[in-house]
Amino acid sequence: MKTAPVSARQPARPGNGRSVESPAPLTVMLPDLASLAALRAWHEGLTAREAVTHYLGHARDDGQSSRGVIARIRRHLAACARARQRYDLLPVFAINAASRTHYTAQVVGAIDALRATAIPAPQPADAVDQWLYPHTARALEATGIRSLADLTVFILHRRRWWQPIPGLGKTGARAVLTWLDTHPELMQRAAEVIEHSKRDGQSLPVSSLASLPTNLDGSQGRYRAPLETCGLAAKTDVEAVTAWLEMHESAHTARAYRREAERLLLWAVVERRQPLSSLTMEDAIAFRAFLRRPAPAARWVGPHCSRSSPAWRPFERALTPRSAGYALTVLRALFAWLVDQHYVVINPFSGVTVRGARPRAPFDTARALDDREWKTVRAFASRLERHGWTASAAQRLRFVLDFGYATGLRASELVDAKLGDVERDHRGAWWLEVTGKGTKMGRVALPPLARQALRRYLKERRLPVVRSRWLASTPLVAVLDRHEAAGQQRTSNASGQRSISAARLRQMVGDFFQDAAKHVEARNPGLAARLLQVSPHWLRHTHATHALKAGVELVTVRDNLRHASIATTSTYLHENDRRRAHQVGAAFGRTPSP
């Protein structure tokens, strides 16, 4: 088994505005024998300085702490475990330093297991984060590239394939291609998929739906209502569906609904050889089964890629019961609207449901940081510049944390917010006007923490702090530079300020919490594991949880979060659950007498 010296620095991962080397594939070579000996000595009771000085004194970089060397050896071994898909060994390399002497045998056994485990060959279905560094993987995932199949097909269809991927760049793309060069079978399979699609003519271009013959376009649909009573000018099924989609002002909602409608339109034409307006309940039941197992797979299932690509398919995989249930809900709503408009006379999806498609809870209340966790995270954020972040990136991240925590805004609401949305009423209260889910207008209270964060961030951006001098179109959260602005598809104001995208916000927050997890991993592995799961929406949950715990009335929190039901807001009342569990446990905690 080959080994790599731990002193040889791995390419660092770029974060938000950090001046570091490009991302590269995960390390697969084990640390060298001297590094492993130093780690074992540390586990056997030597201090980090004693172990590193004795075994690695000749290889240590200037200014590098002994604890840092030991920590990097452990991270190196964890990366080796991930590369070998031995996730069961990860906890062994994250043991608390104070109890390390109790786990020497387990660490030695884990290293032996890594030596004996072959590195599996990457497969097209493997997730990108299984083989590439987390920052690179997050950049790809934010663009919809989740598997190696997605990545290779994406690369083959674009000459400058990295340009639509914020946060990757030429250097990062070169590192990805270098890794792919060591696994040529991946690119070969992607080329075969594309060639197979062209040769067999099995691609299903959505654009073809606009030019169907009259027996399939719905103009002669079996269940079309009389034209004189129809409330639509649509002559074909595609035109009717388009009219329905145009009712939804939210681009996200329209995109999700379009996907479900297009799948049904294509299935009806290709598999049933009839238009949408001729479907029966039997057809709807057959479509339900099709959603769970799209067949033939070569025609319907394929990796994520551009809709104009010959390799594009309507499905990336078979749908889960919950996803299939969602699809049927959308289609029921579509046909209910078509019936209301007197376009068709029946709703074939009425009453057609999916077994096991239980509605998802509004949110998981465990996705909130408690007081101690929040203070730990915020303290780390105040020192980001010491951890490789540029000043402007660190300042923006701190604003997102403080403003998001103080207001409970959704990620989409935060990136869409402008200075012109901030208002002060005649009583002196400050508010932020927002457009929430379902394009509902609302306003959110701006407490002192939010206003202080905004003033500080405006100063850091060298923008006016006085409201009368604000440019209304200035975004609250702006991009840092031209490189980050590339591909964001966001509008700019008169001064050139461009708002950050929701995808970039999620990536930025993910980078921060990953760094925070590394910072606390040695002393608190449990917290580190939780921080790796944090998304921007956790700030909303944390806001609600802390507000209720501080005594804010339930109705007030509901109104500020703009929940439709008080029952949704009440889910944040964790203390009631804890109190109930404690009291029931106290009553039934004893073992029964024999």
Length of the chain as a residue count: 594
Q: What are phi and psi of 200, to 5 degrees?
A: -85, -10
Q: How does residue 5 score in pLDDT terms, banded at 50, 70 and 90?
A: very low
Q: What is the mean pLDDT of the chain?
A: 79
Closest CA to 29 of 85, 83, 96, 70: 83
Q: What is the pLDDT of residue 208?
A: 62
Residue 10 has pLDDT above 80, yes or no: no
The predicted-structure confidence for 493-504, as pLDDT tens digits, reads as follows: 444 467 788 888
Q: Residue 256 corresponds to which amino acid?
A: A
Across 52-66, 258-272, 519-533, 565-579, least confident range: 565-579
Query: Which pLDDT belongs to residue 190?
Result: 65
- Evaluate if residue 459 carries a pLDDT over 90: yes
**pLDDT tens, position by position, 418-456:** 999 998 888 888 888 887 665 667 788 888 998 999 999
For residues 201 and 195, is the Cβ–Cβ distance under 8 A? Answer: no
**Regarding predicted confidence, which is higher, 103 or 199?**
103
Asked if the model's pLDDT at residue 470 lies above 70, the reply is yes
Residue ranges matching CATH 1.10.443 in the chain: 371-538
Complete DSSP assignment for 304-345:
---TTSTT--SBSSPPPHHHHHHHHHHHHHHHHHHHHTTSBS
Distance CA 103, CA 111 (A): 13
Host H or E run for residue 443: strand 441-445
Cα separation, 179 vs 194, whole angstroms: 21
The predicted pLDDT at position 59 comes to 59
Q: 371-538 has which fold? A: hpI Integrase; Chain A (1.10.443)
**In this model, does residue 593 exceed pLDDT 60?**
no
How far apart are the C-alpha atoms of 222 and 284, rounded to whole Å?
15
Q: pLDDT confidence of 58, banded at 50, 70, 90?
A: low
**340-377 per-position pLDDT tens digit:** 999 999 999 998 888 865 555 444 556 788 888 989 99
If you average pLDDT over residues 256-261, what whole number do you get?
91
The pLDDT assigned to 362 comes to 47
Cβ-in-10-Å burial (0-12, 13-18, 19+) of 252 comes to exposed
pLDDT given for residue 193 in this prediction: 56
Half-sphere exposure of 474 (CA within 13 A, CB side): 17
User: Taking the model in full, what pTM does it have?
Assistant: 0.44
Predicted pLDDT of residue 512: 92
Are the C-beta atoms of residues 517 and 532 closer than 8 Å to each other?
A: yes
Written as six digits, the tokens of 439 are 């394009």
Q: Which pLDDT score is estimated for 138?
A: 84
- Averaged pLDDT, 324-339: 92
Q: Determine the Cα–Cα distance for residues 492 and 494; give it in Å rounded to an integer.
A: 7
Please, which pLDDT band fits residue 199 given cuts at 50, 70 and 90? very low
* Spatial separation of the C-alpha atoms in residues 332 and 348, rounded to whole Å: 8
Give the DSSP letter of residue 60. Answer: P
Better-scored residue on pLDDT, 186 or 451: 451
pLDDT in tens, 83-121: 787 877 888 888 888 888 988 888 999 899 888 888 777
Please state, in angstroms and rounded to a whole number, the distance separating the CA atoms of residues 71 and 521: 10
Per the model's pLDDT, the better-predicted residue between 376 and 29 turns out to be 376
- Cα–Cα distance for residue pair 236/268, rounded to 1 Å: 14
In this predicted model, what pLDDT tens digit does every residue of 260-305 receive, in sequence order? 999 999 999 888 989 999 999 999 999 999 999 998 887 888 777 6
Contacts of 406 (CB under 8 A, 6+ apart): 446, 447, 449, 450, 453, 543
Give the pLDDT mean for 511-536.
86
Question: What b-and-e string marks burial along 490-518, b requiring 16 or more CB atoms within 10 Å of the CB?
Answer: beebeeebbbbbbbbbbbbbbbbbbbbbb
Among 18-32, 167-181, 431-445, which is the least confidently predicted range? Answer: 18-32
pLDDT attached to residue 439: 63
Collapsing DSSP to helix, strand or coil, 25 comes out as: strand
CB-based burial of residue 473 (10 Å sphere; 0-12 exposed, 13-18 middle, 19+ buried)? middle
Backbone angles phi and psi of 556, in degrees to 5:
-65, -45
Highest mean pLDDT among 460-474, 526-540, 570-584: 460-474
Least confident segment among 4-18, 92-106, 185-199, 335-349:
4-18
Rounded-to-integer distance, Cα 235 and Cα 456, Å: 57
Yes or no: say if 342 and 230 are a contact pair by the CB < 8 Å rule. yes
> What is the band of 225 on the pLDDT scale with cuts at 50, 70, 90?
very high
